[in-house]
Amino acid sequence: MEIIYNNVSYTHNAKTVLKTNVFENLNMKIEAGLITAIVGKSGTGKTTLLEMLNALIIPSTGSIKVGKWTINKKTSIKDINELRKNIGLVFETPEIQFFNITVKDELLFAMKCFNYQLDKSEKRIKQVLLMVGLDESYLNRDPYTLSNGEKRKIALASILTYNPKIIALDEPTVGLDEVSKKNLIKILNLLKNKYHKTIIVVSQDVDFLHNFVDYVHVINDKKVILSGNKYEVFTNVNLLNEAGINVPKVIDFSYQVLQKKQIKLGYRDQINDLIKDVYRCAR
Amino acid sequence: MKYIIEINNLRAGYHNKIILDNFSLKIKENSWTTITGPIGSGKSTLLKVLIGLHPYEGSVIINNYNLKEDIKKIRAISGVVFEHSDESFVAETVLDEMAFVLENMNLTKSEIKKRVFEVAKQLNIEKLLDKNPYLLSNGEKQYVALAAILVMKPKILFLDEALTKINNCDRESILKILRQYQKGNNMTIVNVTHDMEESLYGDELILINKGKIILSGPKELVYKEENVFNKLGIDLPFIVKLCHKLKYYQLVDDIILDKDKLVDIIWK
């Protein structure tokens, strides 16, 4: 499902002294069936963009087109409810989206809300647990007592239950160790390749993102300042630095070699490939 | 070498589960020690004990004070920054937040003002002073939480996954500023984190697993034990991983943590 942000402006605390313009005429397109990253430093409104997608925040002016729906001030509640069945939003802090005292109830919650395949609910919740790499032993556990990584998996599983076409994750790697990050990449690739989901990841963890994303939007100063595939974006060192975003460490090293020694290494996702390049060039 | 923290035969845990048993550790004064380990290794329990928030058996001496008997004296010379710093904010402006602890220390108004502006300048957050701390970004909140502790000029600073929630750029700039501040003010830092990139800014590195110290020493030496980290699923800092691979291809002889130097050596 394609998403188009069309001239979106948003003012936070509009009628108070704390009035802040978050976006001014922001335009952005998110292609269906791809993994798209939205990066930007703290406070640039990345989370607001995700919340707008689910109509939790309505743009002050402009609109967002999600498939056949348009989100603006005129959108009816009925349309918003229909739209939300197609979007799974996982918040930065997974606990804030938990309501129930067992994982099983948590997973059933959205299915009940959206009246989605309730007759097959038992089968469905087991299926989604497997999709995120957990087993049935979690069903009777209290979601609040799980580890950070497990909570994130349950939060993701709880939105997968109603099979949304769009999955949006806000800072999914915060607090995760490297093993959990690698598992998350596997899950997201599976959701894209096997289940053809449109996936949006808001994150500042560029070393995580550049391993698997297809397309990247960089947000700074109330608008999108750079868009492109990961090769185009993550090699634009100057613009990323200007936007306060780190360059992935593998690319940063290649850039430093080029600057100091005038030797150009290839674009590498993995450290092993980078080393092979170094070996070839140094010997 | 003077040790500011000495732990002997520590035993601590939850309900019937013992997390740390027969645990001993010494931390050098004015050093920056990074404590890391997999989830459930006991690193957070250890920090909770050190800041007096967790019961324990055994001996914990901090700056020559016994933690069980002189906790108030220890708290007067130490500060903690947690992962969720905003939970501890009490004031409506950053300036008041930074001044809060000093007012409780009965300092004069002019001294409070002097210390607040001094630390704000060192941390480069002068522009935030009149803002509401609750409305700042995560990175800015951590700067403020840190500043609100540094104004009291602590001898020991404990960081409990304090930089986990913020982006890499903010994290690196906080770590750089903190390193500079630590050197200039003779402060001891104990940083509990699962993010090994943070260990690059420290002196000593301690790896804990299942309540036991697995590796400990100057970071450069600990980094050499790549297999131990791999077995525990802990990712070494990028530059260390790079050096291990380059060593394998005989392009470097040792672990070089300075990126410029590493580039020079490879292409010499």
B25 has which bridge partners?
B7
What are A138-187's pLDDT values in tens digits?
898 888 888 777 888 899 999 999 989 999 999 888 777 777 788 889 98
ipTM for this model: 0.73
Checking if the pLDDT of B35 tops 90, the result is yes
**pLDDT at residue number A199:** 96
Nearest-Cα residue of chain A relative to residue B233: A179
Nearest to B139 among A42, A179, A275 (CB): A42
Nearest-Cα residue of chain A relative to residue B136: A43
Please report the beta strands in chain A, taking only residues with DSSP state E, as ranges in sequence order.
3-12, 20-30, 35-39, 61-66, 69-71, 87-90, 166-170, 198-202, 215-220, 223-229
- Rounded to the nearest 5 percent, the helix, strand and coil shares of chain A are 40, 20, 35
Q: Stretch A71-95: mean pLDDT, rounded?
A: 90
A90 has which bridge partners?
A169
Least confident of A258-272, B6-20, B83-97, B159-173: A258-272
SS3 state of residue B127 = helix
Contact A71, A64 (CB under 8 A): yes
Nearest to B251 among A148, A253, A279 (CB): A279
Nearest to B164 among A175, A249, A253 (CB): A175
Residues in B touching A174 (Cβ below 8 Å): 164-165
Residues in A touching B266 (Cβ below 8 Å): 257, 278, 282
Across the interface, whether the CB atoms of B39 and A253 are under 8 A apart is answered: no
Across the interface, whether the CB atoms of B238 and A271 are under 8 A apart is answered: yes
Q: Stretch A69-93: mean pLDDT, rounded?
A: 90
What are A111-151's pLDDT values in tens digits?
888 888 888 888 999 988 988 888 888 898 888 888 777 88
**pLDDT at residue number B226:** 93
Nearest to A253 among B38, B233, B242 (CB): B242
Q: CA-based angle B158:B183:B98, to the nearest 5?
A: 55
What are B2-22's pLDDT values in tens digits?
999 999 999 998 877 888 999
Task: Render the burial of B48-80: b for 16+ CB within 10 Å, e for the rest.
Answer: bbbbbebebebebbbbebebeeeeeebeebbbb
Residues in B touching A205 (Cβ below 8 Å): 167-168
Residues in A touching B38 (Cβ below 8 Å): 177
Least confident of A102-106, A188-192, A249-253: A249-253
Q: Which two tokens stand for residue B79?
A: 């500060």
- Name the nearest CA neighbour of A66 among A134, A159, A165: A165
Checking if the pLDDT of B138 tops 90, the result is no
Contact A229, A209 (CB under 8 A): no
Task: Output the CA–CA distances (angstroms, integers) from residue B131 to A17, A32, B170, in the order listed.
Answer: 12, 40, 18
What are B151-207's pLDDT values in tens digits?
999 999 999 988 877 777 778 888 998 999 899 889 999 999 988 999 999 999 999
Q: How confident is the model at residue B99 (pLDDT cuts 50, 70, 90)?
A: very high
Q: Which two tokens stand for residue B41?
A: 């290794």
Q: How far apart are CA A137 and CA A143, in angstroms?
A: 12
Contact B50, B97 (CB under 8 A): no
**pLDDT at residue number A193:** 93
pTM of the model: 0.82
**pLDDT at residue number B105:** 85
List Cβ neighbours of B256 (8 Å cut-off, separation of 6 or more). B239, B243, B262, B265
Residues in A touching B264 (Cβ below 8 Å): 260
List Cβ neighbours of A162 (8 Å cut-off, separation of 6 or more). A85, A88, A110, A111, A114, A116
Q: How far apart are CA A255 and CA A111, in angstroms?
A: 48
Nearest-Cα residue of chain B relative to residue A43: B137
Across the interface, whether the CB atoms of B169 and A246 are under 8 A apart is answered: yes
**pLDDT at residue number A146:** 80
Nearest-Cα residue of chain A relative to residue B240: A271
Nearest to A18 among B135, B233, B245 (CB): B135
Q: How far apart are CA A172 and CA A60, in angstroms?
A: 27
Q: How confident is the model at residue B48 (pLDDT cuts 50, 70, 90)?
A: very high
Least confident of A84-88, B28-32, B160-164, B228-232: B160-164
Tell whether A145 is within 8 A of chain B (Cβ). Answer: no
Q: Stretch A98-121: mean pLDDT, rounded?
A: 88
Amino acid occupying residue B147: A
Higher pLDDT, B39 or B141: B141
Please report the beta strands in B102-239, taking only residues with DSSP state E, as ranges in sequence order.
156-160, 188-192, 204-209, 212-218
Residue A223: burial class (beta carbons within 10 Å; 0-12, 13-18, 19+): middle
Across the interface, whether the CB atoms of A253 and B267 are under 8 A apart is answered: no
Mutation site, A48, A249, A268, interface B, largest B CB count within 10 A? A249
**pLDDT at residue number A227:** 94
Q: Stretch A8-17: mean pLDDT, rounded?
A: 84
**10 Å Cβ neighbour count for A283?**
8
